[in-house]
Chains A and B, each alone.
Chain A
């Protein structure tokens, strides 16, 4: 089975869903996820879960919390590789000396 921690992070988003051994009781503060989790991942965990009998049966996006988090934690830009850095420097020097 898969379980979700019921208390969200300070950002309002929920931590990732984790696997759990079927024959062990769901730990306190967690609920079994019995629905599709596509919305959970599309919303990066910023959702409002619907609970029935301590099981998550649906997720709805929490757009307000999602957008606030995107502003606070922007996606990191990819760092250029060493080859890309050298190529950029070569281009800069060649342009500065009027060669290209």
Chain B
């Protein structure tokens, strides 16, 4: 990439506004009011006062479809259009043993039991989940029917989490209480998802 270098003669960028600006904003006060409100329309154009024009920040210079396709061919498909960070994250995941880690949060609603399962929508590549809240932590595995939670009220005995999977939604519940189910009302839980790259 090339850094842009301006000539410094005041001609590197130009402002252009709408053709009816004089009637829409007839006074200086109208102009400033619109400017303060963030409603005054402008285009920022490139002037001629450049010693060196920099590489534009665009899809073609940052992450082309061809590069995305090559990464997907070597790893797995992205969900939607990836950002540069997501593309690097997938490459790093592949380089570090084929795994990547993503994180998310949910806020518990205080219910528990088989009729009140927790659920998380995860990617098809998710294999293992760690959940942590103020009262404890839990573990879920894609191929395991049972996970475990270790919480404040049962610190010496891990509690069972009954796990199931439909499409890419993971479900779990504990039959005893919302604490063990990692679902205390209004409590934020953070989860880390280990995904194959």
Taking Cβ atoms with an 8 Å cutoff, the residues of A that contact B are: 3, 5, 9-11, 13-21, 23-25, 27-30, 37, 40-41, 44-45, 69, 72-73, 75-76, 78-79
Closest residue of chain B to A78 (Cβ to Cβ) is B153
A27 touching B106 in the complex, CB below 8 Å, given contacts A5-B121, A73-B112:
no
CB < 8 Å: which of B81, B110, B114, B169 contacts A44? Answer: B110
A16 touching B80 in the complex, CB below 8 Å, given contacts A11-B116, A29-B169, A69-B116:
no
Size category of the B interface is 35 or more
Interface Cβ pair total, 8 Å cutoff: 89
CB atoms of A15 and B117 under 8 A apart: yes
A11 touching B153 in the complex, CB below 8 Å, given contacts A16-B106, A69-B116:
no
Taking Cβ atoms with an 8 Å cutoff, the residues of B that contact A are: 79-81, 83, 86, 102, 104-121, 153, 167-169, 176-179, 183, 185-186
Closest residue of chain B to A14 (Cβ to Cβ) is B109
Q: Is the interface of A mostly helix, strand, loop or mixed?
A: loop
Residues of A within 8 A of B185 (CB): 41, 44
Closest residue of chain A to B103 (Cβ to Cβ) is A19
